[in-house]
Amino acid sequence: MPTIRIDQPTVGQTPQSLGLNLSWTKTEQEAITRTLAKYPQDRQRSAVIPLLHIAQRKCNEWLPVDAMQLVADTLDLPYIRVYEVASFYTMFNLKPVGKHHVQVCTNCACLIRGSDAIVSEVKSHTGLTASGETSKDGEFTFTEVECLGACVAAPMMQIGTHYYTHLTPEKTREILTHLQNGGDPAKYADTAPTQDADPIHNGKYGQ
Amino acid sequence: MPLPRLKPEDKCFPNLDGAGDWSIKGYEKRGGYKGLKKLLQTPQLEHIEKLKQSGLRGRGGAGFPTGMKWSFMPQPKLDEKGKLIPLTKPSYLVCNADEGEPGTCKDRDILRYDPHTLVEGMIVGCYTLNAKVGYIYVRGEYYDESSHLQQAINEAYASGYLGKNIMGTGVDVDLHVHLGAGAYICGEETALLESLEGKKGQPRLKPPFPAGFGLYGCPTTINNVETIAQVPPILKNPLEWFTRWGRPGNSGTKIFSISGSVNKPCNVEAPMSIPLRELIEEYAGGVIGGWDNLQAIIPGGSSTPMLNAETSGRVLMDFDALKAESTGLGTAAIVVMDKSVDVLRVMTRIAGFYHHESCGQCTPCREGVGWVHRLMERLSQGDGTIDELDQLFALTKKIEGRTICAFADGAMWPTQGTLKHFRHLFEERIKAKQSAA
C-alpha cells in the first residue's frame, strides 16, 4: 500500500498528479483480468467504473490523479475519459477521506424517522461540523447522502461497504465507538456479507 | 372485507422477509429452478405471448407491458428452405438494479434475501430474447447485497444452471454483475447503458430505442429486478395463477415498500389493486397515532405527486387507479407522513435530491431543478410572497416535458403535488412572516 499524501486538490480545479508512481499488485492484476473478461473484446471501456472501484480500494478509498491515470493507461484511454467518469459519480472520492467514511441518509423516509438526531450524534461524536469534512486525525469523514435504498429500515447510514439500519442516537454512538476501537465493521451490519464473493475484486475475499 | 393474505405458494418472492435460506439450497427447496429445463425448450414466442396475456407491467416505475417490450426484440427468422437465419448482432438483456428512488428499497431485499429468483429470471429472459450474455447493473452502494447476488450466480454456475449448454438444452447464458458508482440518473435505461459502456450516465435521445440500438449498439432489453424475477413463476404456472390478482390491466402481485410514519415499515408482496388503507393497516401496523393522524402519502416513490389523507383513504394501489388521481404507482414505494411531519421540509429535501442528481445534460433540468429547489427552500420557510407560489408552479410546468429523459418530469411532479395539496401551508407561513415583519 503506497503512502498517500493528504495535501488535497480543491474541488473545481484540475487536480495535480502526486507523483505516486502507482502500479497494480498481482492480486489487483488478477482482479482486473477477471473484470475485463466480462465485456466483449472491443468494448473494454466498460470496465472504467469497475477499475476505478479497484483503484479506489487500493488508495485508501479515494482517487488521486495518479490512480485515475493508472486506470486510463490500463484501458488505453485518454485520461479525461476516466476523469469525467470519476467526477460524475458520487461514490468516487476525489479528495482523501477518513478511515471511516460515515454517510448518513437524510432523504425523505430517513428524515421522517429522525435522521436529524443521527446527524447531530455523528457530528458531536466526531467533532465534525459540516457534510464533507474529515477529522484532523483522519479517523472520520462525515457526508450527508441521498437515498441509499433502505427506506423501510430508516434511519440508516453507510460506513465503508456496510449498511447500518434502524438507528437511534445511542446505537449510532455504539457503532462509531466500536469502529474507532478497531472492531469488526460487519458486527452491526444489516446484511451479513458473504465471504465467497467480493463484488469489487470479482473473486473471493482476499483473493 | 380485507383481501386474503398471500400464501407462500402465491408469491413470486416467498423469502422476501429473509426468514429462510437465500442460498441455492433454500431456493431449490422452495421450488426454484424446477421446470427451468422445460422453459428453455419451449419456443420463445410462446413465452412472449404468455407474458402478454399475463398483463405483467414493468415494476421499475413506468409500468410498460413487459410482453410487448420483449416482442420488440429481433427473433431469428426462417429462410425459404426452412433454415434458421441467425441474427447478425448479439442481443443483450440488462437488469436494472440501480435502485435509487427515495422510498424504494424492494430490489435490495430481492438481491439479499432471494437473489436466485433474479438469476432464474435472467436465464429465462436471456433465452427468450436470444441473448447469450446478461448484465445486472447494481447500484454501487449495494455492496453487501451484490455479494449475495454474485454468490448466487456462482452457485448457479456450479449447479449447471448457467454457462454453456444449460442442462443439455443447448442454451448458453452468461451473467455478469456490474457495480455502478452512485448516480440516480443511471436508473434511466439509456443512461444505464451509457454507464455500462464506461461513460458518464447521461440519457440518450430516443429513438432509436434500446430494442434496436442498445448496449454496444446491439438490440437490448432493460428491465427492473422485480419484473425479471417475476417472469419464471408466471411462465411456470397456469395463467390464472397470476391474473387472478388485481384488476384487469393491473394484474398480479407486487412488492410494496411502506416507510415513514407507520408502526412497522416493511417490504411486502401483496395483490395489485389492494386499497392503500388496507395495505398500511394490514401489513405495516397502521399509521403512527392512527389513521386520523395521517397527513399525506407519497404513493410510488418520491417522483409521484402525493395524496392527501382523504384520497389516501379510498384509492386502490394500481397503475390506473393512481393515474386517475393524477399521480402514479411508480415503484410502489409508499412514504407515509403523519401530522407531526413538516411536509414542506420533506418536499424541499426531495427537491434538493433532484437538484443533486440532475445529470446536467439538458439546460431546463440542470438550471431549473436547482431553481425550484432554491425557491422551495425559501418559500417553505415563509420567505417570499404569495405570487411566487404561482411563479413556482409556472416554472415547474416550463421544465416538465422539455428534456431528453423523464428525470425532469419526475423532479417537478412532487413540487406540483405539494402546491396542489398543501398550498395553504405555504400561504400560512408567508402570511405569518409578513405580519411579524
Domains, chain A, in order of start with CATH, read 26-88 (1.10.10), 100-180 (3.40.30.10)
| Confidence bin at A18 (pLDDT 50/70/90) | confident
Contacts of B195 in chain A (CB under 8 A): 49
Contacts of B139 in chain A (CB under 8 A): 149
CA-based nearest residue to B339, from A116, A156, A167, A112: A112
Contacts of B199 in chain A (CB under 8 A): 45, 48, 85
Question: What letter does residue B129 receive in the DSSP assignment?
Answer: T
CA B308 to chain centre: 23
CB of B250 closer than 8 Å to CB of B55? yes
| Interface predicted TM-score (ipTM) over 0.85 | yes
pLDDT of residue A5 exceeding 50, the answer is no
Task: Copy the grid coordinates of residue B52.
Answer: 402478454
Mean pLDDT of A31-50: 96
Contacts of B135 in chain A (CB under 8 A): 38
Instruction: Give the helix, strand, coil percentages of chain A, each rounded to 5.
Output: 40, 10, 50
| Confidence bin at A84 (pLDDT 50/70/90) | very high
Interface residue B104 vs chain A (CB under 8 A): yes
List B residues 323-352 in contact with A (Cβ-Cβ < 8 A).
333, 335-337, 341, 345-346, 349-350
CA-based nearest residue to B149, from B215, B60, B228: B228
pLDDT of residue A9 exceeding 70, the answer is no
Calpha distance A139→A149 (Å, rounded):
26
pLDDT in tens, A139-195: 999 999 999 999 999 999 999 999 999 999 999 999 999 999 999 999 999 988 787
pLDDT of residue A16: 75
CB contact under 8 A, B146 and A48: no
List strands edge to edge, sheet with A100-105.
A133-134, A140-145, A100-105, A157-159, A162-164
pLDDT of residue B75: 92
CA B409 to chain centre: 16
pLDDT of residue A1: 45
- Residue A78 corresponds to which amino acid? P
Cβ-Cβ contacts under 8 Å between A and B: the total is: 175
List B residues 168-187 in contact with A (Cβ-Cβ < 8 A).
176-184
β-pair type (A133-134, A140-145): antiparallel
* pLDDT less than 70: residues of chain B: 1
Q: What is the dihedral of CA B390, B391, B396, B399, to 10 degrees?
A: 150
Count the alpha carbons within 13 Å of B382 in the hemisphere toward its beta carbon. Answer: 13
pLDDT in tens, B357-406: 999 999 999 999 999 999 999 999 999 999 999 999 999 999 999 999 99
| Confidence bin at A10 (pLDDT 50/70/90) | low
CA distance A181 to chain B (A): 23
Placement of cell 427537491 in the chain: B351
pLDDT of residue A13: 54
How far from B228 is each of B87, B97, B113, B125, B243, CA to CA, in Å?
23, 11, 16, 7, 17
Closest residue in B to A81 (Cα) is: B199
CB of B73 closer than 8 Å to CB of B91? yes
CA distance A135 to chain B (A): 23
Give this prediction's pTM. 0.95
Contacts of A111 in chain B (CB under 8 A): 345-346, 349
pLDDT of residue A64 exceeding 80, the answer is yes
CB of A105 closer than 8 Å to CB of A157? yes
